[in-house]
Amino acid sequence: MNKSITIQVCMGTGGMAAGGSEVLDAFESLMREKNIPAEFKKECSMHKVGCRGLCARDVLVDVIADNRRTIYQYIKPEMVERIVDEHIVGGNPVSEWQVDEDYHKFHEKQVKVVLSDCGNIDPEDINAYMAVDGYKAVEKVFASMTPEEVIDMIKKSGLRGRGGAGFPTGVKWEACRKAEAGQKYIICNADEGDPGAFMDRAVIEGNPHAVIEGMIIGAYAIGASKGYVYIRAEYPLAVERLKKAINVSRERGFLGKNIFGKGFDFDIKIKLGAGAFVCGEETALIASIEGQRGMPRAKPPFPVHRGLWGKPTVINNVETLANIPYIIKKGHEWFSSYGTEKSKGTKVFALTGKIKNSGLIEVPMGITLREIIYDIGGGIENEKALKAVQTGGPSGGCITTGMLDINMDYESLAKVGSIVGSGGMIVLDEDDCMVNVAKYFLQFTQSESCGKCVPCRIGTKRLLEIMDRITKGAGRQGDIELLEKLSNDIKAASLCGLGQTAPNPVLSTIKYFREEYEAHLQGKCPAKACNELLTYHIIEEFCKGCGACLRACPAGAITGEKKKPHTIAPEICIKCGACFDVCKFKAVGKE
């Protein structure tokens, strides 16, 4: 008979969307109904936890019975009763609902620092955080460290900004510490805007107190009495949990006047962003907090000298700040034992695209791409061939199959024309057209350009127009060279990081997939993804004359008698691909 039972239900945004709160409700009502804690004299607790990484398998439920953890996947409310009856009451885990080998392989090569408590503790319970040594780092700092010692430790740890640029955090803090001013600020940048990146959201949803603790330590180090978390309003759950966490921290005296009784004042305000990508750029973010339109300004002066309201300001990304308490607690030697010579520690990546196990992963810097794709990610979906991996989102570049053994760190990725960025990692397979992929990212950056500077506002529009005509078969001779020329000029002349990196997907796909661009100029899309360049036809020997394509065709382009091969009239065909998708006999060809 089990003496204790803990039930953890994954309730990040992914878990909630899959029905996490209904699952937790089901556990709570069934356990009450069956009077389990009393009947079996068990220590019983049920709570939500943050993201576990493998969101595709949600709702994930952990049942810990006498320290033995059983992990269930794809749990729905109606499945809860059987778990309660067989596992909790009967003591026999429901084996067919448990996670498989893949789940364990997904976690095997990961090293969790930032995410170490995320997914294990109730993010809305400060006691849960304190039970895993939460707020011990800030206690240690106040008890025994000067601000200079804190900065020194962060410098020695080698921690670099996780938001994209990879600037050494300790150096940034030191510059701000040295800036003379009556008022300083620390800002947590939670304006995660890259398409396909969701690590900051997961960290705040899963362990908001770690971010708050990191901010308190940063504030102490630089001498700031006020902090802001700039977070997008599209992250309602993260905002709600952060709000709760800030309020309860304030009640405990961790925020406010004379915190921890050490004569140091520090408090945090939340500022909601309206979701503009450019507000992730620090000067635009500052403008937005000040109530201005989110538009970047030229640097220098840098925010550490002239930032929010003209005062010295440190802006750190969520993941960067969440690393701080762990570095303080475990020491810089421990932290820098992970990673490569110049990129220390771990990095959270959002692994998405055509990969079997998509989700959030935390790996030591310097791990190879091959390990991420094949060991953690479990390889490519549907037995397709890997084509490339886009890292760094719309500001990054692609890495090809020939470079799978590249180390995932700042320097190595920069060398091949990509970036770590905020950690987006989109896996592409043989069906993806690289020209089209680059065009997609360009569409994003163009529509998110703030409009302030000419190269970004008009330049990316012109790039997009050229890309668009190439994918539509209207490309002109010299377009590839024109793309390169314009891309390089935009990079050199743009005001902020958005424009300076926006052409990266174009340049990197031209660099590694130039032949695909050339094929488009010849009117062919090798990946068969660009509709305007395709023609659909019926392969007679495979066609059974079932009529499925005929019924599916919205343009009436397909004719044919029953049980005889059909035909597609190319002049009527609108190339929507409906016939291709619906044919069970692979009798529709596209070229």
Partner 1 sequence: MGMKKLKVTIDGKTIEVPENTTVLDAARMLDIQIPTLCHHPKLTPFGGCRLCIVEIKGIPRPVTSCTTPASDGMEVTTSSPQMEDLRKTVLELILSDHPNDCMVCEKAGDCTLQELAYFYGIRENRFAGERRIYEKKDGNPFLERDMEKCILCGRCVKVCDEVQGVGAIDFTYRGFKSKICPPYEKDLNCEFCGQCVAVCPTGALTGKQWSLRGRQKDIKEIDTICPYCGTGCNITLHVRRNDVVRITSREDTWNEGWLCVKGRFGYKFINSPDRLKKPLIRITPKKDTGNRGYGDTEKNFTHSPIHPFTVSSNFREVSWNEALDYIAERLNDIKSKHGADAIGGLSSARCTNEENYLFQKFMRAAVGTNNVDHCARL
- Binding positions for partner 1, rule: CB under 8 A: 276, 278, 293, 295, 297-298, 300-301, 446-455, 457-462, 465, 482, 485-486, 489, 492-495, 500
Tokens 């070229």 label which residue? 591
User: Bridge-partner residues for 6, per DSSP?
Assistant: 45, 64
Q: Quote the DSSP letter at residue 422.
A: T
* In the complex, minimum distance from the CB of residue 195 to partner 1, in angstroms, rounded to a whole number: 15
* In the complex, minimum distance from the CB of residue 410 to partner 1, in angstroms, rounded to a whole number: 16
- Considering beta carbons, is residue 24 or 480 the nearer one to partner 1? 480
- Considering beta carbons, is residue 326 or 444 the nearer one to partner 1? 444
- Considering beta carbons, is residue 276 or 438 the nearer one to partner 1? 276
Total number of residues shown for the chain: 591
- Taking the C-alpha atoms of residue 56 and residue 50, their distance in angstroms, rounded to an integer, is 14
Residue 14 phi/psi, 5-degree rounding, is -65, -45
- Considering beta carbons, is residue 387 or 452 the nearer one to partner 1? 452
Pair 496, 284: CB distance under 8 Å: yes
- Considering beta carbons, is residue 432 or 448 the nearer one to partner 1? 448
- Considering beta carbons, is residue 38 or 454 the nearer one to partner 1? 454
CA angle at 45 for the pair 39 and 47, rounded to the nearest 5°? 140
3-state secondary structure at position 414 = helix
Residue 273 phi/psi, 5-degree rounding, is -95, 155
- Considering beta carbons, is residue 23 or 490 the nearer one to partner 1? 490
Residue 64 phi/psi, 5-degree rounding, is -110, 110
- Considering beta carbons, is residue 31 or 295 the nearer one to partner 1? 295
Close Cβ partners of 421 (under 8 Å, ≥ 6 residues apart): 164, 194, 197, 391, 392, 393, 395, 396
Nearest-10 Cα torsion for 213, 218, 224, 228: -60
* In the complex, minimum distance from the CB of residue 448 to partner 1, in angstroms, rounded to a whole number: 6
Q: What share of the chain is helix, strand, coil (3-state, %, to 5)?
A: 45, 20, 35
* In the complex, minimum distance from the CB of residue 500 to partner 1, in angstroms, rounded to a whole number: 8
- Considering beta carbons, is residue 295 or 376 the nearer one to partner 1? 295
CA angle at 291 for the pair 290 and 297, rounded to the nearest 5°? 60
- Considering beta carbons, is residue 323 or 487 the nearer one to partner 1? 487
Tokens 């201005």 label which residue? 292
CA angle at 410 for the pair 409 and 415, rounded to the nearest 5°? 100
- Taking the C-alpha atoms of residue 457 and residue 505, their distance in angstroms, rounded to an integer, is 17
Pair 253, 220: CB distance under 8 Å: no
* In the complex, minimum distance from the CB of residue 236 to partner 1, in angstroms, rounded to a whole number: 23
Q: Could you write out the DSSP letters of every residue in 128-163?
A: HHHHTTTTHHHHHHHHH--HHHHHHHHHHHT-B-TT
- Taking the C-alpha atoms of residue 58 and residue 284, their distance in angstroms, rounded to an integer, is 36
- Considering beta carbons, is residue 301 or 556 the nearer one to partner 1? 301
* In the complex, minimum distance from the CB of residue 289 to partner 1, in angstroms, rounded to a whole number: 17
* In the complex, minimum distance from the CB of residue 274 to partner 1, in angstroms, rounded to a whole number: 11
